[in-house]
Amino acid sequence: MKTTSSSSAVGVWLIGAYGDIATTLMVGTHAITQSLASTNGLITSVAPFTELPLVELSQLRFGGCDIRDTRLVLSAEEVYRRSRTYSREILDAVCPALEHAQSDIATRTDFTWNPQQASSADTGPTLAERVDGMRQLLREFKTRHRLSHVVVVNLASAEPLAQPHASTHSLTGLEQLIQSNAKQHLSPSDCQAYAALAEGCPYLNFTPSRGGELGGLQELALRNRIPFGGNDGKTGETLVKTALAPMFAYRHLQVLSWEGVNLLGNNDGATLSHPENRTAKIANKGNVLHKILGYPVHSGVTINYVPSLGDWKTAWDLIHFSGFLDAPMTMQFTWQGCDSILAAPLVLDMIRLADFALRRGEAGPMRHLACFFKNPIGVEEHSFYRQFQMLLAYAQHHLGKRNTVTE
Ligand SMILES: NC(=O)c1ccc[n+]([C@@H]2O[C@H](COP(=O)([O-])OP(=O)(O)OC[C@H]3O[C@@H](n4cnc5c(N)ncnc54)[C@H](O)[C@@H]3O)[C@@H](O)[C@H]2O)c1
């Protein structure tokens, strides 16, 4: 992999560090750098991205936080035992590296609350104290390892939506809400995004939670000249949906209904089995069709928790459409994939691209990362093919080449 980036290590701060994706991401990075696995699935390992001076995987230094108290090696064992996401050989080989990273993972039970059950009068640490706590962790991590900078990635469980509040649209209003301990209006991901951007860290939100979506956070990112990206990684059913839906549009086939059933067996599936946690995810999965096809489609998305499937998810989609002479036809697809194996390389790609964007002095939403997200901030384009062209155009621009991609 050709990279000629900064010589010092780049920090990666994983929020939800003991989760399946974060664990697989760390296991995978060490497996690749120890030549135990290929770079399959990483788009930054193929042209034209290999020509960009991206940070080497071996230069990434992992740290992070979780609300659970365990150890990285134990979460890696758990992922292996439950789902066989990677081989025993890989796990044994990377265990020393995971042990090495352990001292950079903090358990912080105060980093979570349910905005739907909170009030400003709640006891316990205030929002301002929690934000300060997160900022301090980031500063210590950076200093401890003399990191040039730190990319923060939200890989925490999906969270319930906070009650909207007009003050979140501006930075001043957002900071007032933090100071007044307005837990019902601010979710953990809002405050963690604030802490990251305030510390000058690029921020990526892979979850369906709000992350960097608030106007006040975007103002902060622009003020501090920080790039950010989100929301909700596009790894499975929605990836196929946004690759397939343009075909119906191009051929002027009228989509009548598009029904999707998702069966998830991992912790994410358990979290999403609670209606309050899955509201944003269902909206993200459903909204893409209208935007690609240009007309409203009868579209149902369900997410069912099936524990025995572990990390191996199944999606079944039925597309009912009409063609010439209004003849009705049906297409169905079944997608079976390993959740963390699909997600981890996307996160690694984005970490490398976010680090690159920061070093190039870019700030605000990284629109070129739209192809990685179900609900890309600042982008209305949902066709996977067109989104990928945006990413290629970005790379070509930085390589000083004319965009040679054709439809
Ligand atoms: N796997 C995919 O294909 C995919 C696709 C899109 C989005 N996502 C999202 O990525 C996220 C991570 O997925 P996963 O499968 O690793 O989930 P997971 O449940 O295995 O891991 C989440 C981790 O976050 C921790 N956590 C919860 N709240 C926290 C908080 N406020 N601060 C710090 N840590 C917290 C949990 O203790 C857990 O260890 C989820 O939000 C999921 O919806 C996953």
Find the range with the poorest average confidence among 42-46, 66-70, 297-301, 319-323: 297-301
pLDDT of residue 320: 97
CA of 78 to the centre of ligand 1 (A): 15
How confident is residue 153, by pLDDT bands cut at 50, 70 and 90? very high
In DSSP terms, which residues pair with 204 in a beta bridge? 153, 229
Find the range with the poorest average confidence among 165-174, 208-217, 284-293, 321-330: 284-293
Find the range with the poorest average confidence among 84-98, 340-354, 392-406: 392-406
Residue partners of 354: CB distance under 8 A and separation at least 6: 151, 202, 204, 227, 228, 229, 366, 369
330 has a pLDDT exceeding 60:
yes
CA of 135 to the centre of ligand 1 (A): 21
Residue pLDDT, tens place only, 99-128: 999 999 999 998 888 898 887 677 789 999
For residues 85-94, give the mean pLDDT.
Answer: 97
For residues 54-80, give the mean pLDDT.
Answer: 97
Find the range with the poorest average confidence among 267-281, 301-315, 363-377: 267-281
193 has a pLDDT exceeding 90:
yes
Axis-axis angle for helices 88-101, 72-83 (nearest 10):
160
90 has a pLDDT exceeding 90:
yes
pLDDT of residue 284: 66
pLDDT of residue 286: 67
Cα distance between the two ends of the chain = 28
Among 138, 153, 157, 285, the mutation site with the greatest number of ligand 1 atoms within 8 A of its Cβ is 157
Q: Closest Cα to atom 40, ligand 1: which residue? A: 157
pLDDT of residue 203: 98
CA distance 57 to 3: 9
Q: Closest Cα to atom 3, ligand 1: which residue? A: 339
349 has a pLDDT exceeding 90:
yes
Q: Which token pair is 325?
A: 């002479």
CA of 341 to the centre of ligand 1 (A): 14
CA distance 128 to 29: 34
Pocket of ligand 1 (CB under 6 A): 15-16, 18-21, 65-68, 111-112, 155-158, 188, 206-208, 232-233, 235-236, 266-268, 271, 339-340, 342-343
How confident is residue 301, by pLDDT bands cut at 50, 70 and 90? confident
Find the range with the poorest average confidence among 18-32, 245-259, 299-313, 365-379: 299-313
Cα dihedral 31, 33, 38, 39 in deg (nearest 10): 110
Higher-pLDDT residue of 327, 112: 327
How confident is residue 140, by pLDDT bands cut at 50, 70 and 90? very high
CA distance 372 to 294: 21
DSSP symbols for 175-198: HHHHHTT-TTT--HHHHHHHHHHH
CA of 18 to the centre of ligand 1 (A): 9
The whole-chain average pLDDT of the chain stands at: 92
CA distance 210 to 315: 24
CA of 331 to the centre of ligand 1 (A): 32
CA of 383 to the centre of ligand 1 (A): 26
Find the range with the poorest average confidence among 142-156, 230-244, 266-280, 282-296: 266-280
Helices (H), 11-159: 20-33, 72-83, 88-101, 127-144
pLDDT of residue 2: 39
Nearest-atom number in ligand 1 for the CA of 21 is 16
For residue 231, cis peptide bond before it (omega within 30 degrees of 0): yes
Nearest-atom number in ligand 1 for the CA of 236 is 3
Q: In what order do the strands lie in the sheet with 298-305?
A: 298-305, 254-264, 312-322, 328-338
* 400 HSE (CA, 13 A, CB side): 0
CA distance 356 to 360: 6
CA of 113 to the centre of ligand 1 (A): 15
For residues 181-198, give the mean pLDDT.
Answer: 95
